[in-house]
């Protein structure tokens, strides 16, 4: 049999913390009763959860090359049984390992992720989280609750006391854009009796995600013109949709095919299945799950990292791009007299499973949605300009 070769995973960080417990016997005898235990956890980009290690294993990990394959037998001879333990926890990976963790590690290497960004992306993903239940358990359900527990937030206006002068600016001349911006507000109350028309969906997707022009810069390297900026002009963000109430279209999961300006049906659902998935996707935020159209923004990381290899800023640039996209979605929906939302409180793991996404290759980062507003405001919405709700 050929010798097994192993290497360390591509990206990991070690976090050292402390757990403090009480020794009640010592406490009763009048001695120092606090026991401090050091805890070492590995945060690895190819694993979904932190992994605990001991001091010896931490030293061994530091000595094993993440790029070069090494003989497993030689490592066992040098470091003993801890090699088996590190292999079992997939911090060391065998050359012939075909597990999902090993495949994700290979994808990370091929996509040229920066290590810190890759770990931040992996460790911030949720699975089966219910943000509303957590909010209820915390008993911090209103702004009054938060002020009572945390005190007042930092001031809403920021003034620099070291400014040497102040220059007054003229009020701008109002345009139709001002009216549109004033009506733009996050919607948490959707009309369950109304659907989005196919024409509305088509127009929104074309304006927000559609290609407006293209040019080949070099063989195989095509620059796209869309209605938002993108790092390096690479436009890695894809739109995946859950359609619950759209006229003429079956309920289910879709991918927006930008090239064809078409929707590719991935999986048909019943209304009940779609709503259950919507609730999971937005982590229990039922007011968002009611939207007729929910839209997952997912990034094809390799598209951006083809140019920005192992770059510490490209992950931030992708997040900024999604901010630009969501603003365009808000403004387009508002012009159609529809409400819109965006949330980062999502269960990425279940979303990725439903749409067939590999998180380090094409990861879900936020969920948007839009549809007709309800006639009554049941759930609180922030509308300080008083342009959305007549009863404000």
User: What distances in angstroms separate CA 180 from CA 207, 265, 329, one per listed residue?
Assistant: 16, 33, 13
Instruction: Report the pLDDT value the prediction gives residue 240, as an integer from 0 to 100.
Output: 98
Q: What is the pLDDT of residue 91?
A: 96
Q: How many residues does the chain have?
A: 392
pLDDT tens across 217-238, in order? 999 999 999 999 999 999 999 9
Per residue in 237-276, pLDDT (tens digit) is: 999 999 999 999 999 999 999 999 999 999 999 999 999 9
- Bridge partners for 265 per DSSP: 254
- C-alpha 311/C-alpha 259 separation (Å) is 28
At 332 the pLDDT is 98
Q: The tokens of 98 are what?
A: 């075909």
Domains parsed from the chain with CATH numbers: 5-27+34-111 (3.90.930), 131-139+177-371 (3.40.109.10)
pLDDT for position 2: 61
Strands 293-300 and 262-268: unpaired
What are the backbone dihedrals phi and psi of residue 273, each rounded to the nearest 5 degrees, phi first?
A: -60, -40
pLDDT at 392: 44
Tell me the residue ranges of DSSP E strands in 201-270: 213-218, 221-225, 237-243, 252-257, 262-268
The 3-class SS string of 55-96 reads HHHHHHHHHCCCCCCEEHHHHHHHHCCHHHHHHHCCCEEECC
How confident is the model at residue 36, as a pLDDT?
72
CA-wise closest residue to 238 among 91, 363, 95: 363
The first and second tokens of residue 246, run together, are 């759209």
Q: Taking phi first (over 0 means left), then psi (-120 to 50 degrees means alpha), and beta for anything else, what does residue 321 get? A: alpha
At residue 27, the pLDDT reads: 66
Q: What is the pTM of this model?
A: 0.90
**Cβ(268)–Cβ(252) below 8 Å:** yes
Q: Which residues of the chain have pLDDT under 70?
A: 1-2, 24, 26-27, 30, 32, 391-392
Q: What angle do CA 243, 248, 254 make, to 5 degrees?
A: 30
């Amino acid at each position: 049999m050929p010798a097994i070769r192993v290497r360390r995973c591509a990206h990991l960080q070690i976090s050292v913390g402390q757990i403090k417990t009480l020794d009640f016997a010592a406490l009763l005898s009048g001695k120092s009763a606090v026991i401090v235990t050091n805890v070492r956890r590995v945060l690895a980009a190819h694993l979904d959860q932190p992994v605990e290690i001991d001091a010896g294993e931490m030293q061994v990990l530091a000595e094993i090359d993440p790029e070069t394959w090494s003989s497993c037998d030689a490592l066992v001879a040098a470091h003993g049984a801890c090699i088996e333990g590190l292999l079992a926890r997939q911090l060391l990976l065998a050359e012939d390992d075909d597990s999902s963790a090993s495949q994700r590690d290979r994808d990370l290497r091929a996509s040229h992720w920066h290590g810190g960004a890759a770990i931040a992306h992996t460790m911030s993903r949720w699975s089966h989280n219910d943000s509303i239940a957590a909010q209820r358990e915390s008993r911090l359900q209103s702004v009054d609750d938060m002020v009572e527990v945390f005190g007042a937030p930092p001031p809403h206006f920021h003034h620099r006391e070291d400014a040497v002068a102040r220059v007054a600016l003229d009020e701008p001349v109002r345009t139709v854009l001002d009216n549109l911006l004033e009506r733009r507000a996050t919607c948490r109350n959707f009309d369950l009796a109304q659907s989005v028309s196919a024409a509305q969906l088509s127009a929104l997707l074309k304006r927000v995600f559609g290609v407006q022009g293209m040019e080949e810069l070099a063989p195989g390297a095509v620059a796209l013109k869309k209605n938002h900026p993108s790092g390096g002009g690479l436009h890695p963000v894809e739109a995946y949709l859950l359609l619950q109430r759209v006229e003429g279209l079956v309920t289910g999961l879709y991918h927006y095919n930008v090239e064809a300006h078409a929707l590719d049906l991935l999986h048909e659902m019943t209304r009940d299945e779609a709503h259950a998935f919507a609730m999971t996707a937005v982590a229990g935020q039922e007011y968002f799950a009611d939207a007729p159209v929910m839209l997952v923004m997912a990034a094809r990381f390799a598209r951006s990292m083809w140019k920005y290899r192992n770059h510490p800023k490209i992950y931030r640039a992708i997040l900024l791009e999604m901010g630009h996209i969501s603003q365009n979605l808000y403004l387009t929906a508002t012009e159609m007299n529809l409400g819109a939302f965006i949330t980062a409180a999502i269960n990425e793991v279940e979303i990725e499973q439903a749409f067939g996404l590999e998180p380090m290759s094409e990861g879900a980062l936020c969920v948007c949605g839009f549809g007709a507003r309800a006639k009554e405001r049941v759930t609180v919405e922030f509308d300080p300009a008083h342009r959305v709700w007549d009863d404000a």
